Structure 1
């Protein structure tokens, strides 16, 4: 399944440098698939599910090993505060705490930010 160049690149990827664990596990799964042991066994070797290995294989066939190892963008809620608002909140938290309090709490910061 893997050309020699891809296999050596994946072996180098798993052995050198500091890499995200998820990417290393994906690389290990691709290397295990190259030995012909099957998706279930490759998943057990790398600590991934069979479905994840199947998706990984499809991504490899679609765009190569670098595409297969890359993280896809994840959905999520947008940040509630933009840059200037975050800067103002940080500056507020760096000021002395209000009278009667030893330090800023999240509730105090939220109340002051609403003002």
Structure 2
């Protein structure tokens, strides 16, 4: 017996057909739409194994699509799950970025013609804005800001 039964409304069926018909969506989204249409209890009612074979994915993927649809709705079944936290925490918050910009716009240190990324990184460590930071991180932050 199937724990999560997919029952599509007429509007959901239409929306899924549009996703498939347009062909402009991501391949994963089209695959998930096809799977949901085939799993529909009011439609063909395929098994997880049949859907997995037909759409070249694992039975676990089909089960996950079914579960997300029942628990969270159509959009959750079609879209990727959003991350709760980024893979790495940001080194510079808003205040740190402001200090970096202020530093980059100030006069360079004595004996230097201009600020380099390495000098900016070392200065941020000296000012105790961060414990450690690479010149590449300084570059990405400045590129985003300017």
Aligned counterpart for 1:73 among listed residues 78, 82, 90: 82
Q: Deviations over 1:53-91 (max 9, x none)?
A: 101101001122112111113576457899xxxxxxxxx
Q: How many residues align?
A: 113
The residue number in structure 2 matching 1:2 is 8
- Distance change in 2, residues 1:21/1:78 (3 Å): farther
What is the TM-score with the length of structure 2 in the denominator? 0.52
Distance 1:27 1:20 in 2: 11
User: Within 1, Cα distance between the matches of 2:29 and 2:17?
Assistant: 12
**Counterpart Cα distance in 1 of 2:59 and 2:30:** 17
Give the unaligned 5+ runs of structure 1.
83-115
Q: Is the 8 A contact 1:32 1:45 kept in 2?
A: no
Paired position in structure 1 for 2:31: 25
Cα RMSD over matched residues? 3.6
1:60 is the counterpart of 2:69: yes
TM-score (norm 1): 0.62
